[in-house]
Amino acid sequence: MNMPCATAMAGNRELTGRRILLGLTGGVACYKAAELCRLLVKAGATVQVMMTEAACQFITPVTMQALSGRAVFTSQWDARSPDNMAHIRLGRETDLILLAPCSADFAARLALGRADELVSLTCLARPRGVPLLVAPAMNREMWDHPATQRNLAQAQADGAQVLGVGHGEQACGEVGDGRMLEPWALYEAVAAHLSPKILAGQSVLITAGPTYEAIDPVRGITNRSSGKMGFALARAAQQAGARVTLVAGPVHLPTPYEVQRVDVQSARDMLQAVQQHLPEKGIFIATAAVADWRSAEVAEQKIKKDGDARNSFLQLEENPDVLATVAQSPQARSGALFCVGFAAETEKLLTHAQAKRQRKQVPLLVANLGPATFGKDDNALLLIDEQGAVEWPRASKQALAQQLVAEIARRLPDNLAT
Residues in contact with ligand CTP by the rule CB under 6 A: 207, 267, 286, 288-290, 292, 319, 321-323, 341-344, 356, 360
A 10 A CB-CB count for 137 gives 30
Instruction: Please tell me the distance from the alpha carbon of residue 304 to that of residue 403, in angstroms, as a whole number.
Output: 49
Give the pairing type, strands 160-162 and 96-102.
unpaired
Cβ closest to ligand CTP, residue 48 vs residue 319: 319
For 102, list phi and psi in degrees, rounded to 5. Answer: -110, 115
Contact indicator for 97, 23 with CB cutoff of 8 Å: yes
Residue nearest to ligand CTP (CB): 322
For 396, list phi and psi in degrees, rounded to 5. Answer: -65, 150
Cβ closest to ligand CTP, residue 107 vs residue 283: 283
Q: How far is the CB of 267 from ligand CTP (least distance, A)?
A: 5
Query: Which residues partner with 35 through β-bridges?
Result: none
Cβ closest to ligand CTP, residue 170 vs residue 225: 225
Instruction: Please tell me the distance from the alpha carbon of residue 131 to that of residue 191, in angstroms, as a whole number.
Output: 13
Instruction: Please tell me the distance from the alpha carbon of residue 138 to that of residue 87, in angstroms, as a whole number.
Output: 26
Cβ closest to ligand CTP, residue 156 vs residue 272: 272
Instruction: Please tell me the distance from the alpha carbon of residue 154 to that of residue 134, in angstroms, as a whole number.
Output: 12
Identify the burial level of 252 via C-beta atoms within 10 angstroms of its C-beta, where 0-12 means exposed, 13-18 middle and 19 or more buried: exposed
Query: For residue 405, which of 338, 360, 359, 345 has the smallest C-alpha distance?
Result: 338
Q: How far is the CB of 362 from ligand CTP (least distance, A)?
A: 8
Q: How far is the CB of 244 from ligand CTP (least distance, A)?
A: 17
Instruction: Please tell me the distance from the alpha carbon of residue 418 to that of residue 411, in angstroms, as a whole number.
Output: 12
For residue 153, the one-letter residue type is: A
Tally the residues of the chain.
Answer: 418
Q: How far apart are the first and last CA of the chain?
A: 34
Q: How far is the CB of 326 from ligand CTP (least distance, A)?
A: 8
Active site residue 172: yes
Catalytic residue among 5, 56, 172, 339: 172
Cβ closest to ligand CTP, residue 107 vs residue 288: 288
Q: How far is the CB of 384 from ligand CTP (least distance, A)?
A: 12
Cβ closest to ligand CTP, residue 177 vs residue 269: 269
Instruction: Classify 17 as helix, strand or coil.
Output: coil
Q: How far is the CB of 338 from ligand CTP (least distance, A)?
A: 14
Query: For residue 383, which of 326, 416, 341 has the smallest C-alpha distance?
Result: 341
Catalytic residues: 172
